[in-house]
């Protein structure tokens, strides 16, 4: 008899992380992803033959590098359950650092206006809208297929984010101004060896030129035109790019430039305050 406990042990023997195996098994059983405690309480329950085959197939795909979020179609992010697939990046827990920083900057701003550039699945924009229902949140992406995912998430969650199609600030009305602009743009160098492990995710959402900073340069150059005086630009980047991003912000006229670390303590986001006229 193939029990839940044995199925999980077999998956881990294939090299799967315990949490990945649990999430895939819950998905196979049609259970919610937050029911991991239920698995422990029912570890002697038997899988049907069909369930065992389905779980084995999912484990093989995960072992080949496919993200769990694509296999289950869902990903938890900042308290929200998002629907995701191969049209968008798998939202990372590291990106919650960006959301937390934006919320800190907005805590004394009533009815703020917020812009998320390169929204992908909508994770950051939707998290901010959920945390600040009084905010007016806009989100931009150049990919129509990514916007379809984000809009579906917004509709399902009942969050009134406004979506725009285009490249960074290009589609915005000239007069549009925001208290905070956030972005988790592509920032991986085109020849980065880690790309070989990310073949299931859209390459255009990962890479940005020889040093990974081409899109960040564009955003920094454009953002001042759409920030109120004293507004903030906050950017996610690679752990070894903080100094370069701070330099770009300072050169563009941002002040109070600093970097925040993620939960593991790596440099994850850099930002600055717009001192221009706005």
For the domain that residue 94 is a member of, what is the CATH number? Answer: 3.40.50.150
46: left (phi over 0), alpha (psi -120 to 50) or beta: beta
The predicted model scores a pTM of 0.89
Domain count across the chain: 2
Does any domain span residue 69?
no
Question: Any idea which of 98-112, 180-194, 201-215, 247-261 has the lowest mean pLDDT?
Answer: 201-215
Does any domain span residue 185?
yes
Of the residues 64, 93, 114, the one at which a domain ends: 64
Quick one: pLDDT at residue 20?
A: 92
Structure confidence at residue 203 as a pLDDT band (50, 70, 90): low
Does any domain span residue 70?
no
Same domain, 32 and 95: no
Does any domain span residue 105?
yes
Does any domain span residue 49?
yes
Same domain, 58 and 177: no
Structure confidence at residue 205 as a pLDDT band (50, 70, 90): low
Same domain, 79 and 22: no
Quick one: pLDDT at residue 211?
A: 84
Give pLDDT tens digits for 106-131: 999 999 999 999 999 999 999 999 99
Does 86 have pLDDT greater than 80?
yes
Structure confidence at residue 198 as a pLDDT band (50, 70, 90): low
Residue-number span of the structural domain to which 10 is assigned: 4-64
Give pLDDT tens digits for 14-58: 899 999 999 999 999 988 887 788 888 888 889 998 999 999 999
Q: How far apart are CA 136 and CA 181, in angstroms?
A: 12
Does any domain span residue 246?
yes
Structure confidence at residue 199 as a pLDDT band (50, 70, 90): low
Does any domain span residue 123?
yes
């Amino acid at each position: 008899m193939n029990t839940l406990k044995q199925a999980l042990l077999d998956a881990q023997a294939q090299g799967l992380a315990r949490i990945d195996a649990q999430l895939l098994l819950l998905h196979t059983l049609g259970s919610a992803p937050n029911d991991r405690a239920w698995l422990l309480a029912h570890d002697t329950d038997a899988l049907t033959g069909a369930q065992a085959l389905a779980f084995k197939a999912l484990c093989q795909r995960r072992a080949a590098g496919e993200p769990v979020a694509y296999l289950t179609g869902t990903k938890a992010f900042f308290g929200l359950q998002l629907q995701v697939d191969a049209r968008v990046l798998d939202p990372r827990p590291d990106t919650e650092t960006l959301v937390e920083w934006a919320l800190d900057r907005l805590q004394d701003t009533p009815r703020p206006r917020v812009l998320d550039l390169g929204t992908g699945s909508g994770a950051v924009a939707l998290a901010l809208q959920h945390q600040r229902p009084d905010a007016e949140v806009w989100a931009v992406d150049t990919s129509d297929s990514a916007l379809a995912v984000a809009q579906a998430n917004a509709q399902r969650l009942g969050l009134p984010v406004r979506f725009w199609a285009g490249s960074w600030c290009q589609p915005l009305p000239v007069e549009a101004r925001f208290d905070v602009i956030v972005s988790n743009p592509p920032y991986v160098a085109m020849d980065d060896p880690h790309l070989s492990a990310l073949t299931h995710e859209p390459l255009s959402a990962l890479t940005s030129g020889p040093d990974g900073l081409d899109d960040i340069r564009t955003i920094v150059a454009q953002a001042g035109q759409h920030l109120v005086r004293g507004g903030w630009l906050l950017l996610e980047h690679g752990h070894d790019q903080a100094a370069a991003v701070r330099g770009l912000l300072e050169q563009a006229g941002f002040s109070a430039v600093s970097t925040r670390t993620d939960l593991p303590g790596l440099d994850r986001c850099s930002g600055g305050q717009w001192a221009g006229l706005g």
